[in-house]
Structure 1
Amino acid sequence: MKQNLIAFLIIGVILISSGLVYLVSKSDDDYTDGLNVLKTWELPPILKEVSGISHVDDTKIACIQDEDGIIFIYDLGLKQITKEIEFGPKGDYESIRIIDSTAFIMESNGNIYKVIDFKSDTRKIETYKTEFNSSNDMESLDFHSGTNTFLTIPKENNLTENGDDLIIYKLNPEDFTMGKELFFSLSYDDSIVKVEKLKFIKRGFSASELTIHPQTGEIFLLDSKVPRLLILNSDSSPKKLFMLDPENFQQPEGLSFDSLGKMYISNEESDFLKQNIQLVEWK
């Protein structure tokens, strides 16, 4: 009888402990419905830290990774890298945007590489220093045709005292200098926040990418720390916030659209998922 009692006590302790572990580890996020992964391409080991993607055309995507100054051209049909294009020394490269025959790459310290005729052996490379530095942790860059400027958003610290605000800056496309006028500024206490506010401000929003939809002009912001996707309307007002399930989006770092407006998201390698590019549908 005594042995049975001890056994029951041990089982009870195990069950209670398991329940506590579950409650502590269980996320209180409700992952958003209406966002589905339609297809996944597992990338080769050289791109395990894929940090940015941009479409060259509807079958090829330009990729960069954190360490090497190389543009990797990945063929979606062949499911392999078909070309490697060197543009700079080892660094911390975080965002790439292909515009016609020119590639623009942003480094986390704010440096921008402009690779003219990037697919050619006679390509020309220009380097620009912006007002940002490593403390801002820059990971986003895209061209906004409406203002004829590049847009970027710091992942960590703004250039103003409003460090907790969500601020999108405009950069001159000629020399990447910054004017006095901001493109967008949103305080987490602002009444125009129509997305689920508590989830929006929870643990801040660390933007790992900014990409503009080629047809609607909507602005898509990725957060890789707490996997989220925030969509702003073309007038910059908040439209939709997706809480991304980390079982599918382990570390979303890159986002690009093809000519039809289909969305592709890239993820760095994690402990349980390989680095990949995903074709993602949203509603």
Structure 2
Amino acid sequence: MIIKQFNSDNQTQKGVIHFILITMGSFIISVSCNPQTNEKENEQDSYVERAIDVNYDLIHPVKRISLHYDLEEISGLSYYKKDVLACVNDEKGRLYLFDVSKEKIIKDIKFGKGGDYEGVEIIGEMAYIIRSDGRIFHFNLNKTEQEDFEAKVLKTPLSAKNDVEGLGYDTQSNGLLIACKEDAEVAKNNINGKAIYAYDLDKSTFLKKPFLKTSHKKVEKFLEDQGVSGGKVEKFKPSGIALHPRSGLIYLIASVGKALIVLDKEGAIKEYVKLDSKLFRQPEGICFAPNGDMYISSEGRAGRGYILKFKFLRK
């Protein structure tokens, strides 16, 4: 019927088209203005926009570096020297020195048997690699060519139930910082939430009192105080830790929940950012260059692992 009118009456045709366009426009405006329609998307944006507040644009990395297939399961990351990062694979007892400018492995060091290695820290020429059960393997990078090369092990009271996933370094105390993904309790110290422990390198001693503590409730309270909508967030489970070379603040990254949390050394939350899951596929490693540039690594998930570089935005 309408088709006949279009053929016989041009004015009627224009009127009907005009009516349809107005109706469609009203519908589109109504949908886009409906807060329930975009509630989840807006909640994600409210977190992502906070990325600028940590002095990094976490939405736009300056570089994406694809890794060799040996690092498909990259789990730990540390700065070694200009353009060279140290990486570990969570299945192999090997340390890889990776040149980010040439995008290739320049050295591959076997230091132990296969195992769940989760964090690495380079201090001078000393390499420290932590396994998920809390054992810390260490050796001098300059001596790895010797026939009698053997990584030594620092024992801690941590175990597989703690599921250690992050290793950092505090220059001020000369201590390794150890992040537990799961159970934070050590020697029945009744810790609620998550804990960061320290290993004093000067005294070769594990400190049973946590270096700092945080909790899921603290995160929710922080977001509520900051006026961020939808303060309910997935429980934070650290997968990487690093100290900022300029501010001294502690950066914790989590693959579970895709988030970055920044704390001071008293454990006070300074910032929380929800990461874009498309950009950060499975973030497990984090480190900083001396100038403040930040690197975050992600596992490949049946593909090539990769590292994202973020420029330090000085304020």
Q: TM-score range by the shorter chain?
A: 0.7 to 0.9
Equivalences for residues 109-258 of structure 1 within 5 A: 109-118=133-142, 120-122=144-146, 123-159=149-185, 160=188, 162=190, 164-173=192-201, 177-190=205-218, 194-196=222-224, 202-258=233-289
Counterpart in the other structure of 2:297? 266
CA distance in 1, matches of 2:312, 2:70: 29
CA distance in 1, matches of 2:219, 2:248: 23
Between structure 1 and structure 2, the one with the greater Rg is: 2
68-77 or 181-190, which deviates more: 181-190
Counterpart in the other structure of 1:280? 310
CA distance in 1, matches of 2:145, 2:262: 38
Change in 2 beyond 3 A, CA 1:200/1:145: farther
Q: Work out whether 1:47 is the aligned partner of 2:62.
A: no
Q: What is the aligned-residue RMSD (CA, Å)?
A: 2.6
Q: Work out whether 1:83 is the aligned partner of 2:107.
A: yes
Q: How many residues align?
A: 258
CA distance in 2, matches of 1:119, 1:202: 46
Q: Work out whether 1:102 is the aligned partner of 2:143.
A: no
CA distance in 2, matches of 1:71, 1:211: 18
Secondary structure, counterpart of 2:106 in structure 1:
strand
The one-letter code of the counterpart of 1:140 is: G
Counterpart in the other structure of 1:64? 88
CA distance in 2, matches of 1:219, 1:234: 7
The one-letter code of the counterpart of 1:223 is: A
Secondary structure, counterpart of 1:168 in structure 2:
strand
The one-letter code of the counterpart of 1:29 is: Q
1:270: Cα distance to partner?
A: 3.0
What is the percent sequence identity of the aligned residues? 30
Deviation by residue 1:37-85 (Cα, 9 ceiling, x = unmatched): 1100011111110001111112111111011111111111211111101
Counterpart in the other structure of 1:12? none
CA contact (8 A) 2:219 2:269 kept: no
Change in 2 beyond 3 A, CA 1:114/1:155: same
Gaps of 5+ in 1: 1-22
Change in 2 beyond 3 A, CA 1:200/1:120: farther
CA distance in 2, matches of 1:64, 1:73: 9
CA distance in 2, matches of 1:236, 1:208: 17
The one-letter code of the counterpart of 2:109 is: I
CA distance in 2, matches of 1:155, 1:176: 23
Change in 2 beyond 3 A, CA 1:270/1:187: closer
User: TM-score by structure 1 length?
Assistant: 0.82
CA contact (8 A) 1:42 1:277 kept: yes
The one-letter code of the counterpart of 2:178 is: T
1:146: Cα distance to partner?
A: 2.4
CA contact (8 A) 1:192 1:238 kept: no
Change in 2 beyond 3 A, CA 1:52/1:145: same
Secondary structure, counterpart of 2:48 in structure 1:
coil
CA distance in 1, matches of 2:287, 2:114: 24
Change in 2 beyond 3 A, CA 1:203/1:169: same
Change in 2 beyond 3 A, CA 1:175/1:138: farther
170-179 or 121-130, which deviates more: 170-179
CA distance in 1, matches of 2:143, 2:309: 25
